[in-house]
Every structure is written in C-alpha cells, then in structure tokens.
Structure 1
C-alpha cells in the first residue's frame, strides 16, 4: 500500500475514534456514529471490517485483540480532530498488518479499534480497478476521438505544403508550360522538389519553343521553293504532248507538290495553335445557314453519297467564320474518305439549354481499336502503315481539335458497334438568343 494512502487512513481512523470513541466499546453504536458523520473519507467505506477489542473480551492473547491489548504493543500518542488524545500503532500479527487505535471511552474502559491493512489494500485495489474499468467506458471514446482529431490535424499540417505545391502545379498550361501561380517551397525540405520541377518545366518550355519555331520556320521556308517548283511544273506540262507519259508524270509531280504545300500549311497552322497565335476574329454568325449552305454545296461535289440533314434554324454562334469553315470542311472530308460504297453522310444541328450540338455521321469500314483515342493525334492515320489507299495527311483532325479549343468548344468522336462514326461539336457556353 502506498505510504500516502496509509497516512490518510491513519489520520481518518484517529479522527473517527476521537469523534465516535464515546460509544466504545459498543461496536454497533460506534459504526452508526461513523456512518452518520458528514465527512467524506476513504475509511468510511470499510465499517464492516472494523474489529473492536476491549479488556472485557475473552479472546486469547495470541489473536489480534489479545495482542493489541497486551503491554508488548508500543503506542504513539496523537491528537485527534476532536482534541482527544488517541494512541496509534501499526502491529503485525502473523502475516497480517493492522492499523490500531487505543482509546479510553466515557466509562474509562479501554478499547482498541483494529483495521487490517492487507484487507484494506485488497479492497482499495479492487475499488480502483472498478473505478478504472467504469471510467474506461467513457474515457476510451474520448481518447479515441482526441487521437483522431490529433491525427487529422497532424495530417493536415503535414499535407499543407504539398497541397500548396499541388495547387500551383495544377495551374500549369499544358500547351505552353507556363504556370499562373508561382511555385514556392513552403519549407526548405521541399526546395529540391520545387527546383527540380522548375528546371524540368523550363527545359520543356525551351524544347517546345525550339520544336514549334522549327516547324513554323520550316513550313514558311518551304512554301517559296514549293511554289516555284509548282510553277515550273505547270509551265513544263504545257510544253509536253497532251496525254504523253511525260505529261502524266509531271502531273503526278504537281500532285505531290500540292500535297507538300498542304502539309506545310497545316503544320504552320498547328505551330500557331501551339503558340496560342491563331488569333481568331469572333463574329456572330448564323450557324444554321452556314451548315445549310455547306450541305447544298457538298451534294454537288459527291453525287455518289447520299447526304441528309436535320438543321434547326436560326442558331447563332459567336465564332471565327474562317476557322469554323475549315473545321467543318475537315470533318466532312474525313466522312467522305472513310465512307463505304454507296454510303451516306448525315448532318444534325440542334439547340439545347447549354448551347448547340453539331454532329456528322457516316458509315465506315472496320476501324482500329485505338481510333477513338488517337484520331486527333497528329499524323494519325486510320489506314494501316500510312498507305496511300485513302488520301490524307493525318493533320486535319488535329487542326480541328485546336480550332475547337480556341472556341472553348468540345470536339469528340464515337464509333458504334455497327460501324457508324459520329463526330460531334458542342458549345458548353450559355446559348445565344435566337434571332427572330
């Protein structure tokens, strides 16, 4: 038993003997007096374990009472709270340790009050365990909640610099690699990561700029010699006999020169798009009229294809007419090239609450499994090994994607199970009011 608890028990025993000793050696009255006391104490709960000894007892000398009443016990005089002198001793009988209080009652009869320290130690331990178990039910959830809150707080504190870096990185423009929010290391531990990212970003910008400049410069420089070649070829073809094999070969050269001119023109457009230099001129146009005229013109160019349309009238759109005309032309050319014999093309234009939806549908021969994912990649061709069986450069749809991006519109493609290819263009901006 801890010394502090033992000292407290000693003080309480002496005070109760001083207060209720007048009832000694009567055990029942003594215990009633203790229970009636308004004091809150530890020893009050052990009234059932009190042993009251008096000289009238006929107990043997070797038991607890007999030994405590014998002259061999050394008593210490202590003043109680009731200003009565009480004699106190700790005695050991066999293996049991006792607290003993010696007092002469009102009848001047000697009485000794005994409490077993061993029993009290066991009882106190049991009470403490019960108190611990009872409070554990309430304390554990609180502790668990505190641990969760502390873990959440520590996690947030630890993740805060990472979130700051992530927030800055998400502002990175994937086309120019420019970052809107400066990337700053919140702590020196993140300095190497930030510096590595910035170094990588700068090298990407430099490489991207060199590639874009090379494409633009090469496309620009090739236009002049290609124009000269075409002019000389046209002059040469006039000097050759009509229908001769030499004239046919020169005509093939002119076709390939035209093909190179188209490639350089589209590469120049794409390099401008990569540099955000398409510089569109936005005008409010009647998209319905544009599509209607396009369908009429297309019918005269491809009489072998059946062209149908569903065009809602008076749909207005703020766009660059030249760029949109080129976008629709590329989508139409793609529908013609990848059509089937005696096939068809269906145009659909409708207004909805979020803008408009334009689609161009056509049947097609079996396409590669990666068609939908890679169709807008540059130089991608749906025909195997870039064969010449279908004319095309693999740049038209890439340019369409860039034009759609400039207009903040969405360009997509869907291939159905029965081989119907549908290209869609939609504007997610609030719709313009329709003209009357």
Structure 2
C-alpha cells in the first residue's frame, strides 16, 4: 500500500529539487560569467595602462602592482610579457610563453583620421596643426589551456611595444569552488525543509479525512443514525461528507427494514409453530404405537421443533442487531458448566476422543441460558464437522480480566473463503463438504452476537491443516459487576 502523504512530500521534494538544481546551475554559470567579465575588464584596463612610455627598468614595478590590481595573493598566477618593436623581450615575469598570443608587429601604426572642421571652435584652436588622434588600442582577450591550468590572456600592441598580461583562472575557480560548496550544503538542507514542510502541510490537509475515518469507524449496526458534521470543514471535503451522510441514511433505512422483517417474521411464526407443535404432540400420543401414522407424526414434530429453533435464533439475532438483547445476568460457574458440556459430548459422540484442560473456579457474569447456547452451538459444530474417530480439545483459563475458552476439533481443511465468511448468517461453506451435515448456518453467528452482548467475543483461530479451533472470551464476573447494570 502506498502513502498519499508520503507521495505528496516526495513529489514536493522532487519539484523543489528540480527547481533549486536548475536555479543553482544557472546562477553558477551567471556568476562564473560575471567573474570572467570582471577579470576581462581589469585585464583590459591594465593593458591600456601599459601603453604609457616606461623605461625598461620600470616594468618590474608595474609587474609588482598586478597582484593587487587583479586581487590575488599569488604572484605565480600572473604573467607579464613586454616585447619591443624589434621583437626583443623587455620584461617577462613568468615562464609562461605568451609570445604566440601577441599581435603581429606592424611597420607602423597609422593614426586615425578625423574631420577637424566638425570640432567646436574652441577645440580646433587648442589642437596643433597636423594633429592626428592616436591609433585605436583594442586588446585581444582569449583563454588558453596549459599544463598548469587555464589562463585568461589580454594582449595588444603599441607603437614601440607589444604587451601581454595573463592571469590564471584558478583565482576564479577558487571563488566558484566556495560557491559550489555553499550550494552543496544549502540544496540538501533546503530539500529537507521542503520535505518536512510538505509532510506537515499534507498532514494538515488530510486532517478532515482522518476525522471522517474516525467517525466512520465509530459507526456500528446500532449507530447508523450518526451523521458527520460539516461545520468547520474545508469546502473541498463538504461534498464527500454529504455523500457519506446520505449513504448512512440509506444503510440505516435498509438495515432497519431487514431487521424489522426478520424480527417480525420470527415473532409471527412463534405462535403458529407453538400451536402446531402442541397439536402434533397430542396427536402423537393418541396414535397407535408403532404405526406408520405415529412415525409420520414423529418426523413432522422433529421438523416443527427444528423450525422453532430457527425462529428462536432469528429472533435473538434481530434483537442483537437492534441492540435490544435482554440479558438476565447472574454469576455463572463456567468450570462447572463446561464439565456438564464434556459429559454431553461423551453421550452424543462416544467415538470421539475428548481432551480437556479447564482451570477450576472460572466464573463469569452473564445470562446462563445464552452462555449455554454459545457452548451448545460450539460443541454441536465441533461434533458435526469432526472426522471419523477424531478428537475434541477443550481448554479454559483466566487471562487478566477475561476468561478464555478454546474448543478445537479434528476437521477437513477450512478454505480461506470459508474462513472469511464462517460467521455470516445462513452460510455453510463448501456444499460438497457440508451437504450431509444438518443445520442452516445460524449457530456460529448467534454465538458471536451473544458473546459480544456480554462484552466478549468469539473468533476463529489460525490453526494448522486438519484442525479447527474457536476461541471464546468473556469478562470475569467482578469486572462486569462493577461496570454494568443488571
């Protein structure tokens, strides 16, 4: 099963991670380009400044100022090459070979022409005759790769010299490495915050669903009249709650109709069946002993008694469904009742081996007749579905505030589909396995309803093949007496 809340958190993290990763990549590239452009501007400015006439012994001083101008503490990260018009090296501060990047030396650098008449009168008077503007100095900037790393080189030519200044890109790489480390720390932290935030937000958004689930879990067969309130509920969930409330109303109406029908039918059948049973008993007494008529009347009387038992069970089930099962509670010696039950097993099924482990002094508080009905149904079920020359095991003990009783018997394998529906009314499992077994499938359902009416339960245990076991739990006597009215 998948968690919707977890999927929301992971999806939010994926979307946020993609956005942050994309933003970080773009930001990193823009920062790198900005750093390179800033370095290019500094290199161009330094190259232009090198155009000032200097004696040969002044170039070392110019080279010493480059680390400060380029904002680096490493002199080895900067290279300066100055060549005169005769291609003689005037100064070289680094072993890096920059000559291939110097512009070719021209015979001369032509000065630019301009329209003197276009100048204002004051400018024309200030310029000497024959004045020509100096040539354009357009430094060429390129990136080179060497064994020591990448360098950014700016070179240009002047009338008397050619100059090349190079700076290692490791200066920028160090700054970018620091930014990268910041991103590597900030991105996972941000994603963690996004996941936590999405988890909290999704939990808050799903709170109405959890409240609706809690209220649905509280709905029982006798509580179908409950309605989930739509006050203080987000508008997105109002329609869902309204549909659920309408479904509860339909279920309540259908359940009441079915329960009323079974209760009314059982109640109406009680009197005719009682009259019919009385008439048959009287006719049976008057019939000639051993005659065919007496045999027929005896068979009819058995069927009427069977119908009376079914009607009585249906009436009890309808009362349980309506929460109106009346219990006449007294203290019951369950150990003694089980001893009598064992004697009954030995009488009705002498071929079965009976094993018991019953603790002494087990007492429960409940309706004696109904508890006896549970035991009878379980014993009859264990006998009916037993194997030839099989066995029955009966164990009973006290556990904390309850009495636990287990009845196991040898049996054919109970299929998974039968285990899921074994407590359903009128369900008798595989017809091939039960066609020779009498009954209508109400005994186990009625036994469980009686147990629940006593605040206990009846369950089918998980057992190995060739065995079936039911466990009955009932609260002990003093626990019921202290908490219930009787």
TM-score between both structures, scaled by the size of structure 2: 0.64
Match of 1:182 in 2: 228
1:149 to 176, 185, 193: 193
Match of 1:409 in 2: 457
CA distance in 1, matches of 2:222, 2:419: 25
Do structure 1's residue 237 and structure 2's residue 277 form an aligned pair? Answer: no
* Residue 65 of structure 1: how far off its partner (Å): 12
Match of 1:219 in 2: 266
Do structure 1's residue 139 and structure 2's residue 183 form an aligned pair? Answer: yes
* Residue 216 of structure 1: how far off its partner (Å): 1.0
Sort the Cα spacing of 1:50 and 1:183 in 2 relative to 1 into closer, same or farther, 3 A: farther
Match of 1:376 in 2: 423
Q: Residue by residue, what CA displacement relative to the aligned partner does 1:27-83 show, whole Å, maximum 9, x if unpaired?
A: 334444565x6x9937987972345689999779xx77989x989599xxxxxxxxx
Do structure 1's residue 92 and structure 2's residue 138 form an aligned pair? Answer: yes
1:271 to 306, 318, 325: 318
CA distance in 2, matches of 1:10, 1:277: 98
Q: Residue by residue, what CA displacement relative to the aligned partner does 1:353-407 show, whole Å, maximum 9, x if unpaired?
A: 5744312233346666644333222112257269774332210111111123332
Sort the Cα spacing of 1:193 and 1:94 in 2 relative to 1 into closer, same or farther, 3 A: closer
Structure 2's unaligned 5+ residue stretches are 1-32, 91-101, 114-134, 143-152, 480-486
CA distance in 1, matches of 2:477, 2:279: 52
Give the conservation status (yes or no) of the 8 Å contact 2:364–2:475. Answer: no
Match of 1:26 in 2: 58
Mapping of residues 328-407 of structure 1, within 5 Å: 328-341=375-388, 343-353=390-400, 355-364=402-411, 370-381=417-428, 384=431, 389-406=436-453, 407=455
Do structure 1's residue 9 and structure 2's residue 53 form an aligned pair? Answer: no
Give the conservation status (yes or no) of the 8 Å contact 2:456–2:472. Answer: no
Sort the Cα spacing of 1:197 and 1:65 in 2 relative to 1 into closer, same or farther, 3 A: same
Give the conservation status (yes or no) of the 8 Å contact 1:372–1:415. Answer: no
Query: SS at 1:380's partner residue?
Result: coil
Query: SS at 2:324's partner residue?
Result: coil
* Residue 283 of structure 1: how far off its partner (Å): 4.8
Match of 1:323 in 2: 370
Give the conservation status (yes or no) of the 8 Å contact 2:403–2:474. Answer: yes
* Residue 181 of structure 1: how far off its partner (Å): 8.2
2:78 to 25, 40, 48: 48
Mapping of residues 37-76 of structure 1, within 5 Å: 41=71, 48-50=78-80, 72=111
Q: Residue by residue, what CA displacement relative to the aligned partner does 1:268-327 show, whole Å, maximum 9, x if unpaired?
A: 111222222224455554432332343345545655555442211123434443332221
Query: SS at 1:91's partner residue?
Result: coil
Q: Residue by residue, what CA displacement relative to the aligned partner does 1:155-201 show, whole Å, maximum 9, x if unpaired?
A: 54245433431442243234346487835484333333332222222
Do structure 1's residue 164 and structure 2's residue 208 form an aligned pair? Answer: yes
TM-score between both structures, scaled by the size of structure 1: 0.70
Match of 1:78 in 2: none
Larger RCO: 1 or 2 (CA < 8 Å, sep 6+): 2
Sort the Cα spacing of 1:259 and 1:383 in 2 relative to 1 into closer, same or farther, 3 A: farther
Sort the Cα spacing of 1:71 and 1:180 in 2 relative to 1 into closer, same or farther, 3 A: farther
Sort the Cα spacing of 1:45 and 1:398 in 2 relative to 1 into closer, same or farther, 3 A: farther
Sort the Cα spacing of 1:196 and 1:369 in 2 relative to 1 into closer, same or farther, 3 A: closer
Do structure 1's residue 288 and structure 2's residue 318 form an aligned pair? Answer: no
Match of 1:80 in 2: none
Sort the Cα spacing of 1:316 and 1:225 in 2 relative to 1 into closer, same or farther, 3 A: closer
Give the conservation status (yes or no) of the 8 Å contact 1:353–1:431. Answer: no
CA distance in 1, matches of 2:87, 2:299: 139
Match of 1:82 in 2: none
Sort the Cα spacing of 1:238 and 1:190 in 2 relative to 1 into closer, same or farther, 3 A: same
Query: SS at 1:206's partner residue?
Result: helix
RMSD: 4.9
CA distance in 2, matches of 1:233, 1:56: 144
Give the conservation status (yes or no) of the 8 Å contact 1:216–1:271. Answer: yes
Query: SS at 2:293's partner residue?
Result: helix
Match of 1:311 in 2: 358
Do structure 1's residue 259 and structure 2's residue 300 form an aligned pair? Answer: no
In the alignment of these two chains, the number of paired residues is 401
Query: SS at 1:207's partner residue?
Result: helix
Give the conservation status (yes or no) of the 8 Å contact 2:82–2:89. Answer: no
CA distance in 1, matches of 2:88, 2:390: 127
